[in-house]
Amino acid sequence: MWQKFPKCALRQKLVTLILMAVTAVANPLSAMAASRIKDLVSIEGIRENQLVGYGLVVGLDGTGDSLRNAPYTEQSIVAMLERLGVNTRGTKMKGENVAAVMVTASLTPFARPGNRLDVSVSSIGDAENLRGGTLIVTPLKGADGEVYAVAQGSVQVSGFSAGGAASSVTQGVPTAGRIPNGGIVEKEVNYSMITKKKILLSLRDPDFTTSERIARAINDKMKTRAAMALDPATVMMIKPDNYSSNMVDLVTDIEQLYIQPDQKARVVVDERSGIIVIGNEVRVGEVAIAQGNLTIRVSETPQVSQPNPLGQGNTTVVPRTTVDVEDNAGKKFALLKPGVNLQDLVDGLNALGIGPRDMIAILQALKVSGALHAEIEVM
């Protein structure tokens, strides 16, 4: 049964639909895959710092370094014990329960003294397994040689190794592990944003159009010319004179703005695995494509020939060879119209019934012919 609406209700629904259509046309970004500025840029000066240190893992179950092949392990043990007041010089040591390791970590931006961070431990000697070991206090230094953190704790190893005299089984990498929250920050990297009047936004994927859109969105938000695109990878933002708060609040206000990022037409190809990634902006000129392979299969099916039970003779093997030649003669040309989009390109290539590796050769041939209007990046 049809439901009757009053004229005023029907008129209101029509007005609502018209307003929704006008809004979609006026604001095309709402219907597209827009991204936040926060996800597209990073602020120059706010970065991680890599830390590295050398230490010892003790408490291993006979799976540590052999001192004959790793003399640095013995030297480290002697130096560590001397710092603790134990003199072991001139004695013969066995270090199967100790392994020399490199300790690495990433110092996050604005990390303060006392904050915890994860560390990674990797053996540098001939240790077989770090499972069950404990890392002794290890200073972690930056590129400038200063100590920024100290690491210590039980090493967690996901891999294992087991075996006997005839065979062994190894899963994962038992000579590397992690210590969650095993590092303590001792020194911070000084960086203050509050007092800054100007910052630089670095695009993670440099592009002229994207950088200009970011600057335009910031200017529209601030109602003044507060940002300017310097190049495809950098947008300079200056705190307006009429902005009453500091630079931290300004970054908080603009990082939630949505823009539509642009990108180059690109085809990424991994020939080792046969993976193909085609960007949305890839276009192809009018071209005809044919693909065919000459396949020759040779199969051997030998048969055994036995003599008659009442006769004389020997059992022999008679060779039987079958040769099959397939030239894919049934496959025809496929025509791609000019300016086809990603979906048309994929449908046209799939219509040929080809695999990913043959598709890689076709894409490269399209690029050579000038019909593929995109950049091919081979991994």
Q: pTM of the predicted model, to two decimals? A: 0.65
Nearest alpha-carbon partner for 125 in 83, 79, 68, 170 = 68
> Which pLDDT value is given to residue 232?
93
* Largest pairwise CA distance in the chain: 115
**What residues contact 278, with CB distance under 8 A and at least 6 apart?**
267, 342, 345, 346, 374
Residues 98-115 pLDDT 10s: 999 999 999 998 899 999
Say whether pLDDT at 30 is over 80. no
Residues 270-291 pLDDT 10s: 877 777 888 777 777 777 766 6
- Structure tokens belonging to residue 163: 């075996």
Give me the chain's average pLDDT, please: 79
Residues 319-349 pLDDT 10s: 776 656 555 555 555 565 666 665 666 676 6
Q: Can you tell me the distance from the alpha carbon of 232 to that of 238, in angstroms, rounded to the nearest whole number?
A: 18
**The residue type at 188:** E
* Burial of residue 97, with CB atoms counted within 10 A of its CB: 0-12 exposed, 13-18 middle, 19 or more buried: middle
> Which pLDDT value is given to residue 334?
59
Domains of the chain are: 49-157+171-185 (no CATH), 192-259 (3.30.70), 266-299+318-378 (no CATH)
